[in-house]
Amino acid sequence: MLFKTKEKSDYKLALQIYNHLSGRDVSPFYIGKVLKLEKTFENKKALLMEAVRLCGEPENKDKLYVVSQCYVLAGAEYRPHAIDYLNKFIDCGATWSGTPRQKIDMGDYVADQLTQSKAEIWWQLAHAYEGEYQFEDSLKAYLTSFSIDNTYTPAVNGVADVYVKMNNIDGGLKFLREVKKLKYKDMKLFAASKIDELREKKKNGYVYKPRPRKKKKANAEL
């Protein structure tokens, strides 16, 4: 059982806890309280679960964002929770009040932070599915991430890696060749490098064999 404080539901405090633990800026108004709470809990995961508790029932986008991100940050044993809440957040549009919305000129394309943020959420879902060996679901989510933002390199990497884990290297190579046709220089270079990687695996007769899975200990009541 995780230790809980006497703090009542407080979404704003939960957000600042997540910001602190994920390396983001913390509001000066909350920094003292967050650091005090950090000393109260035995480890990072326990404090993340306190942030989840402080959100109460996540009935809106902002709370769903914090809860989903806390479970993502908490790691492997909380993946089922992360998948559940990421899907709920996506069903609400995959945006919240703090989603950045600037557009930045990158030279050969304009980066839309709103689009990138949505692509990242889908990537997180795909990565969580991948960790649970749900490769079909993972592939679909990675492809969705890429369809939202075709400049998002992690999505391309994820698609290729999951094809390899599905023992379909040819599928990965076909996808990467299409990516290489895009006009973005950095993406072309990445796709070319990844193609070389997959070709080497194919040449060596690589066959993916999943590792034995460890039993999770996450508290189902959270």
pTM of the model: 0.92
Give the pLDDT confidence of 134-189 residue by residue, as tens digits: 999 999 999 999 999 999 999 999 999 999 999 999 999 999 999 999 999 999 99
The CATH T-level fold of domain 100-206 is 1.25.40
- Nearest 10 degrees: Cα torsion 20, 26, 30, 31: 70
Give the mean pLDDT of the chain. Answer: 93
Q: Would you list the domain boundaries of the chain? A: 9-99, 100-206
Give the pLDDT confidence of 16-48 residue by residue, as tens digits: 999 999 999 999 999 999 999 999 998 999 999
| Predicted pLDDT of residue 220 | 44
Task: Kindly indicate the confidence band of residue 122, based on its pLDDT and cuts at 50, 70 and 90.
Answer: very high
